[in-house]
A = this chain, B = another copy of it.
Amino acid sequence: MGTGRPPTIKTVAARAGVGRTTVSRVLNGSPLVSEKAKAAVEAAIAELNFVPSSVARGLVTRRTNSIALVIPESESRLGAEPYFSAVIRGVSTGLAATQTQLQIVLVRDKSELDHLTEAVAARRVDGVLLVSVHRDDPLPDLLEGFGLPTVLAGRRSAAEPLSHAHSDNLGGAKAAVRHLLDRGRERIATITGPLDMEVGRARLQGWREALTEAGRPPDGELVAVADFTEEGGRRAMVELLAQAPDLDAVFVASDVMAAGVLLELRASGKRVPEDIAVVGFDDSMIARHTNPPLTSVRQPVEQIGSTIAQMLLEEIATPGTPRRCVLLPTELVVRESS
């Protein structure tokens, strides 16, 4: 009852009474084939349930029709951080119209990094999408060295040489801090992401600029650096409370960290927003469910995903496309925490 080998282009040719090349022409929509031959081939394809082997095709066309989405997190944040799921969803929609497959590569340690570089060297993918890039991440340059089309979600610095799409972190952070100022807050602290990531620096810079523009020179002791994790956010809040017990607002660079902040504030008897106002970033699902619901800066993560997917597809289709950079807007969503 073995199904036998799947039919090949040769089987189809025999069945249709034509040569292999003609079948290939039909498959690739060449105009140089008679109506009669075309009909015969199409009938044979349908009868045999033939689908051309993508591997064999890839060998000669040098295309795999698949791209990799690389998620590099030593402490895997996929799952803890809704951001990544949203990117995946966005990339998937950006790819939907094409035949391109999406490979997810989680890079958590050295061995997974080796697997990735080997996969790339073995030409298993036509291009790579990178998210959550750190300043001296070796990966982007490595990929460029391979001559593989690469597009980033986010960027390493303002001078990012690779194509990328990112959201207006600076503007979003400024809007958040201005909102806190409007509510009459006096001592506004911030909890940042890692400063070796441009998101981290940009959101911090937004906090600084908003305060400066309001005529209030930012105060160094009101800054705590954390790592985008819930526990990191909690610890940063402990630190801030010790350094500046009189603070009455905190702009937190991610919702997940803000969730940790809220837990810590409740534990230490502070009321939100009466004693301390809190604003997060991302407007992820948890923002609606924290206690109290969290004011947050929404960024169009899914749209970033679909954008970078399309940019990468274009770069693959027409190599040598000039580098492009897309900036997407953010928006403040006010809830009860501020």
Contact = CB atoms under 8 A, between A and B. Distances in A.
B89 A54 contact: no
A264 to B, nearest CB: 13
Contacts of A89: 76, 78-79, 106
Interface in A284-307: 285-286, 288-292, 302
A263 to B, nearest CB: 8
Contacts of A78: 85, 88-89
Interface string A42-53: 000000010111
A112 B96 CA distance: 7
A33 interface: no
A283 to B, nearest CB: 13
Interface string A88-128: 11001000100101111110000110010011011110000
Nearest to A122: B54
A220 interface: no
Contacts of A121: 6, 49, 51
A273 interface: no
Given A104-B104, A286-B285, A53 B99 contact: no
A197 interface: no
Contacts of A51: 118, 121-122
Contact of A124 (B6, B55, B106): B55
Interface string A288-331: 11111000000000100000000000000000000000000000
Contacts of A11: none
Contact of A289 (B3, B111, B286): B286
Nearest to A284: B79
Interface stretch (A16-24, A56-64, A175-183, A210-218): A56-64
Q: How large is the interface on A (under 10, 10 to 19, 20 to 34, 35 or more residues)?
A: 35 or more
A103 B3 CA distance: 25
Contacts of A53: 59, 122-123
A249 interface: no
A86 B77 CA distance: 10
B92 A104 contact: yes
Contacts of A205: none
A64 B286 CA distance: 39
A119 to B, nearest CB: 6
A103 B106 contact: no
A290 B66 CA distance: 39
A302 B112 CA distance: 18
A147 interface: yes
Interface of A: 3, 6, 49, 51-56, 58-59, 64, 66, 76, 78-80, 82, 84-86, 88-89, 92, 96, 99, 101-106, 111-112, 115, 118-119, 121-124, 147, 259, 262-263, 285-286, 288-292, 302
Given A3-B147, A103-B104, 11 more contacts: A51-B122, A55-B124, A76-B89, A79-B89, A80-B285, A82-B85, A88-B104, A88-B106, A96-B111, A286-B289, A289-B290
* Smallest CB-CB A-B distances: 9 pairs: A291-B291, A79-B85, A51-B121, A54-B122, A92-B106, A55-B58, A51-B122, A104-B104, A54-B124
